[in-house]
Amino acid sequence: MNPYLTLESDLIARMRQFRRDIHAHPELAFKEFRTADKVAEVLETLNLDAIHRGQAVTGIVAVLKGRNPDSRHIGLRADMDALPLCELNHFDHASRHEGKMHACGHDGHTSMLLTAACWLSENRDAFEGTVYFIFQPAEEGEGGARVMVEEEDFFGRFPVEATYGMHNWPGLPQGHFGIHHGPVMAAMDTFALEVKGRGGHGGIPNLANDPIVASAQLVSGFQTIVARNVSPLEQAVVSVTQIHGGDGDNIIPDSVTMSGTVRSFSREVREKVITRMKEVCAGIEVMFGVEVVLDYRPGFPPTINHADNAEICIRAAKKVAGEGAVIVDLPPSMGAEDFAYFILEHPGAYIWIGNGEQSPSLHNPHYDFNDDNLVTGANYWIELVISA
Ligand code: NI
């Protein structure tokens, strides 16, 4: 066990207040102005080498050099945004902004990383290389990581060799870690489509071209993709979640619209699903003489850890939490995470830190980040920087 910080540390007491202040003032994607100001306020009091603000609007990258600063470069990432959700908690630090809530614990992620930055900036001799503390905006659906990585050339400007992420995980005991060698979070795509037929009288279908019958076949056809085209050893989901068409009992509508979501864990499976969806649509067009317009909207890619980096995380987590508190290769989550962009073409890994077995789930209006993780999470970040 290697506790750099304990629950009794003054720094932890300060950061608990910090976390609760951020929780009380949640801000949505790309609007984390107050949050970024608060993070920067703390960073500016530290002995850092550079603070880059305005990354992807509100993001911050802080740079800290240890011994032999050019010997290695490591990135640690936290997300800062909240969700459009009404908080139902009544404690003192509950959201003061109706309709906005830190229901995913990004307030805690920001605070854990900031705590590690505080400790490391006072202990520069404890580690080799250069650390980049990445405070990212807009993880929830908006892909702030993609903007940072792709549009703002993150890797060109900050030459990290590996980037690490951490998300709190309800259901996993506090003080425990969950670490995957490969897929950890799913790719999340959405789609919308329109089946265009020809409307007419419900009693005279031969003079119309019924898009409802074609749509029924289309939904059934989509359900064969996971069942018949994806390997039984792989995971994927194709869900049609909305279907709209028709206005009256005796009217065949002109068109039907539907939409849904696709989840997968590998690029190959994702491509296979997209290809088959297009083929099924084309087949339905021929079969029914309708037109099918498919708008496939790729979302976050799957988050797939690099095995070598996962091993580094496992070693660090075991030093901090003990051998028995690190659970390896739990089933991955069908949720999605934009950290994927940081490790799509570069090494890195993303791990889970237990938020407690009794914790309400992520995105639940009763959720709250477990403050004991300020110690566990910061110690993990510190250990990772020292020993990675
Ligand atoms: Ni989250």
99-126 per-position pLDDT tens digit:
999 999 999 999 999 999 999 999 999 9
Cα 80 to Cα 111: distance, rounded to the nearest angstrom: 9
Evaluate whether residue 3 is within a structural domain.
no
The parent domain of residue 218 ranges over 187-300
Last residue of a domain, one of 280, 300, 320: 300
d(CA 350, ligand 1 centre) in Å = 12
Last residue of a domain, one of 243, 268, 300: 300
The mean pLDDT value of the chain amounts to 96
Q: What is the mean pLDDT of residues 262-286?
A: 96
Cα 38 to Cα 283: distance, rounded to the nearest angstrom: 55
224-233 per-position pLDDT tens digit:
999 999 999 9
d(CA 168, ligand 1 centre) in Å = 8
d(CA 307, ligand 1 centre) in Å = 22
End-to-end CA distance of the chain: 16
d(CA 388, ligand 1 centre) in Å = 24
Evaluate whether residue 332 is within a structural domain.
yes
42-78 per-position pLDDT tens digit:
999 999 999 999 999 999 999 999 999 999 999 999 9
Indicate whether 101 and 176 sit together in one domain: yes
| CB contact at 8 A, 227 and 324 | no
Domain CATH number, residue 106 = 3.40.630.10
Domain CATH number, residue 249 = 3.30.70.360
d(CA 140, ligand 1 centre) in Å = 7
d(CA 373, ligand 1 centre) in Å = 15
The answer, yes or no, to whether residue 2 has pLDDT greater than 80, is no
pLDDT of residue 3: 72
182-213 per-position pLDDT tens digit:
999 999 999 999 999 999 999 999 999 999 99
Residues within 5 A (CB) of ion ligand 1? 104
Indicate whether 83 and 95 sit together in one domain: yes
The answer, yes or no, to whether residue 1 has pLDDT greater than 70, is no
d(CA 37, ligand 1 centre) in Å = 21
Evaluate whether residue 1 is within a structural domain.
no
Evaluate whether residue 143 is within a structural domain.
yes
Comparing C-alpha atoms, which of 193, 190, 237 is closest to residue 214? 193
